[in-house]
């Protein structure tokens, strides 16, 4: 009885701590949401803390009316989806042969992969390379450089290695080739690793910032993260004689808040469903080296 009482106390304590912790984590978010729904004046005077004051949708109207933001949004969604699919395909096609012991050059290629993973190219040669294959100021730069990641490749290869040999041997006897093997047996049985890697690739593609920053000049192709950055940075230089924005019912701060919320909505929606794969992903490939 004493044991369980202590245990219960511990559980209660932990629960309370976690609740407090999550409240602390969510308060800033709520504050940002409230700011995005408040009028310019109250935000100007630092009056908004938890709840919106002088409720207004003006900031949101401004955001939603901006075509470039939507464009970036769909561009990012598109590159993420297409990029993830392509990335999984490429990674699988590469990882499968590498997982076969009968592939003679496998170990050599593997060493190359590891070298590529450890020694990342410095930025200038990398820039020149990407440029020389025509990806400078080309929207494909949002996808192509990301579709094969050595680390993910190794995870997938390790996973493939765990496949029972007997299964494949049986299939080969029935006259099944490698491609059929991969697409009919291996991939359908690899949903766990696929989901995890999809998440890994997806997050990279969704969050990408450096690549478009370096390689894109055409603002039409700017993904969401850069657009948001443009909205929320402070370095706008005020200029004499600029028409006053006094009569608008939003200001930089409310717009910033609305943009940030706009950008994280998809993540907030998707995240609860994907969370478990994050944990799984950390364990994958950790058993067999």
Partner 1 sequence: MILKKMSLLMAAGVLAISTIAGCNSSSTGDSSSSGQTSANEDGTVDIEVWGTNIGYKAITKGSKLYEFYKEKLGVGVIHPYVEWNGGTNYLNQLNLKIAANEMPDLFIPQQGIEDSLAKNGAIADLTDLLPKYAPNVWEAIPQEMWDVVKANDPTGQGKIYYIPGVVEYGRYAGMIRQDWLDKLGLTMPKTQDEYVKVLEAFRDKDPNGNGQKDELPTGGREQARWMDHLFAMYGVAMFEGYPEWDIYNGELTYSAVTPNMRAALEFAAKLYKEGLIDKESLLNTKDKWDGKIQSDKVGNYFHWVEHGNLILENLKKNTGVKANFTVLPVPEVEGYEGFYTMKRFAPPQWVIKNNKDENKLMATLKLLNNIYDKKNWKDLFLGVEGMHYELKDGKAVKLPDDKSSQENQLLNPYSTLATLDFTIGLFNSTSSKDSKWAIDQVTRNMKEAQKYAKVIAGDGMPASVYDSFPDINNRTLYVEYATKIILGQYPIEKFDEFVDKWNTSGGEEVTKRAREWYAKVQK
Residue 276 beta carbon to partner 1: minimum distance, rounded to whole angstroms: 25
CB-neighbour burial class of residue 178 (10 A; exposed 0-12, middle 13-18, buried 19+): middle
CB of residue 80 to partner 1, shortest distance in Å = 16
Interatomic CA distance for residues 41 and 14, integer angstroms: 41
Cβ proximity to partner 1: between 231 and 277 the closer is 231
DSSP class of residue 39 equals -
DSSP 8-class letter at 119 = S
- Cα 29 to chain centroid distance, Å, stands at 19
User: What is the C-alpha separation between 16 and 22, in angstroms, rounded?
Assistant: 10
Could you say whether residue 70 binds partner 1 (CB under 8 A)?
no
Contact between 50 and partner 1 per CB under 8 A = no
Query: 160 is written with which tokens?
Result: 């493939």
Q: Are 150 and 285 in contact (CB under 8 A)?
A: no
> What's the distance, Cα to Cα, between the start and end of the chain in Å?
45
The footprint of partner 1 on residues 10-39 (CB under 8 A) is none
Instruction: Lay out the site mask for partner 1 across 188-227 (x = CB under 8 A, - = otherwise).
Output: -------------------------xx--xxx------x-
Binding-residue pattern over the window 88 to 127 for partner 1, x denoting contact by CB under 8 A: -xx--x-----------------------------xx--x
| 176 neighbors 184 (Cβ within 8 angstroms) | yes
233 binds partner 1, rule: CB under 8 A: yes
Binds partner 1 by CB under 8 A, chosen from 25, 239, 269, 279: 239
Q: How many CA atoms lie within 13 Å of 65's alpha carbon, on the beta-carbon side? A: 7
Q: Which residues of the chain form contacts with partner 1 (CB under 8 A)?
A: 40-41, 43-47, 66-68, 85-86, 89-90, 93, 123-124, 127-128, 131-138, 140, 144, 147, 179-180, 183-184, 187, 213-214, 217-219, 226, 229-231, 233-248, 253
């Amino acid at each position: 009885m004493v044991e369980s009482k202590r245990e219960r106390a511990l559980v209660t304590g932990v629960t309370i701590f976690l609740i407090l912790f999550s409240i602390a984590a969510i308060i800033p978010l709520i504050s940002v949401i409230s700011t995005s729904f408040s009028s310019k004046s109250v935000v100007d005077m630092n009056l908004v803390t938890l709840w919106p004051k002088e409720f207004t949708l003006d900031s949101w109207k401004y955001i939603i009316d901006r075509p470039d933001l939507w464009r970036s949004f769909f561009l990012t969604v598109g590159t993420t989806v297409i990029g993830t699919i392509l990335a999984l395909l490429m990674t699988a096609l590469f990882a499968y042969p590498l997982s076969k012991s009968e592939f003679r050059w496998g170990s050599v290629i593997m060493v190359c992969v590891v070298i590529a993973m450890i020694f990342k190219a410095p930025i200038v040669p990398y820039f020149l390379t990407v440029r020389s294959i025509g990806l400078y100021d080309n929207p494909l730069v949002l996808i192509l450089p990301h579709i094969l990641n050595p680390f993910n490749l190794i995870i997938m290869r390790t996973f493939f290695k765990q496949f029972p040999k007997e299964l494949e041997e049986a299939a080969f006897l029935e006259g099944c080739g490698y491609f059929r093997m991969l697409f009919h047996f291996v991939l359908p049985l690899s949903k766990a690793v696929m989901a995890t890697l999809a998440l890994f690739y997806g997050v990279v593609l969704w969050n990408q910032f450096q690549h478009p920053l370096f390689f894109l000049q055409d603002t039409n192709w700017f993904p969401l993260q850069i657009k948001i950055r443009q909205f929320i940075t402070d370095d706008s230089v005020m200029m004499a004689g600029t028409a006053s924005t006094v009569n608008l019912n939003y200001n930089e701060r409310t717009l910033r808040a609305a943009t940030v919320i706009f950008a994280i909505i998809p993540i907030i929606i998707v995240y609860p469903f994907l969370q478990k794969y994050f944990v799984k992903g950390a364990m994958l490939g950790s058993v067999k080296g």
